[in-house]
Amino acid sequence: MADTTKNNPTGPRHIAFIMDGNGRWAKERGLPREHGHRFGVKAFRAVLDHCATLDIDAVTFYAFSTENWKRPKREVNAILRLMDSYLAECEKKIDDYAFRIVFLGDKAPFEGARRTRMERLEAHTRTRRRILNIALNYGGRDELVHACNLLLASGKNTVTAADIEGALYTKDSPPLDLIVRTGGDLRISNFLLWQAAYAELYFTDILWPDFGPAEVDAAIAEFHQRKRRFGGV
Ligand code: FPP
């Protein structure tokens, strides 16, 4: 993966993607939903590679939510297996990998080889500057509850916004600038609830497997048209 080429001087510094529409993409082709996720990984790779050529400090992907466990077991297993193969591949080329990998979410349900690999990837890439956040068993509400519990356990009984920020899974990422959601739905779906406070939102009807570098550029171009006031005038 190429390293940064400083060709994104006005931001966004941190983009997050809600990769929606894999199931519908497969259905339109008469394929099982799992195939949609397989092509979803292809799109993920293309988008990540493209982001690596831009001067972006952090990129976040919503891969599996705390609610996604409700899906049929076969689909859940298919998504986790896709994740396993991607992570195994990352591990093989870990020295060339451009990003620090951070998993957002509670790792408790992951055990054995999967858990070890997740922790190894985080540890081995810890000193890289740019961040790839993979939200896996992630929910925005769950993240806030987890942060509150961390702060209580540390002995605090009043907290500041900075304390909360420092207890989020995204504590090492720069502020979130842009959320891109594919698949046509106009909602946040429990993603980065705290971090979204002043992020720009970009929705497209394109289904995730059809999303790619040209659409990333379109979202960034739209971002540059927005007037960000952060509550000011
Ligand atoms: C939403 O589409 C997609 C997901 C819940 C899973 C996304 C996961 C991947 C693309 C694979 C993750 C793996 C890596 C390596 C990042 P949907 O199934 O809800 O689509 P629908 O709305 O059309 O049903």
What confidence tens digit (pLDDT) does each residue in 69-80 have? Answer: 999 999 999 999
Question: Is 203 among the domain residues?
Answer: yes
Question: Is 216 among the domain residues?
Answer: yes
**pLDDT on residue 2:** 39
Cα–Cα distances in angstroms (integers) from residue 131 to residues 51, 61, 98, 134, in the given order: 11, 11, 9, 10
Question: Is 229 among the domain residues?
Answer: no
Of all residues in the chain, what percent carry a pLDDT higher than 70?
A: 96
Residue 47 belongs to domain with CATH number = 3.40.1180.10
Q: CA torsion sign, 217 to 218 to 219 to 224? A: positive
Nearest CA to ligand 1 atom 14: 83
Domain that holds residue 140: 14-224
Question: Is 5 among the domain residues?
Answer: no
Pocket of ligand 1 (CB under 6 A): 19-24, 37, 40-41, 44, 61, 63, 68, 79, 82-83, 86, 183
Residue 3 has pLDDT above 50, yes or no: no
Question: Is 7 among the domain residues?
Answer: no
Give the residue with greater pLDDT, 161 vs 1.
161
Nearest CA to ligand 1 atom 18: 23
Q: Catalytic residue positions?
A: 20, 68
Overall number of domains in the chain = 1
Residue 5 has pLDDT above 60, yes or no: no
Kindly report, residue by residue over 107-134, the tens digit of the pLDDT. Answer: 999 999 999 999 999 999 999 999 999 9
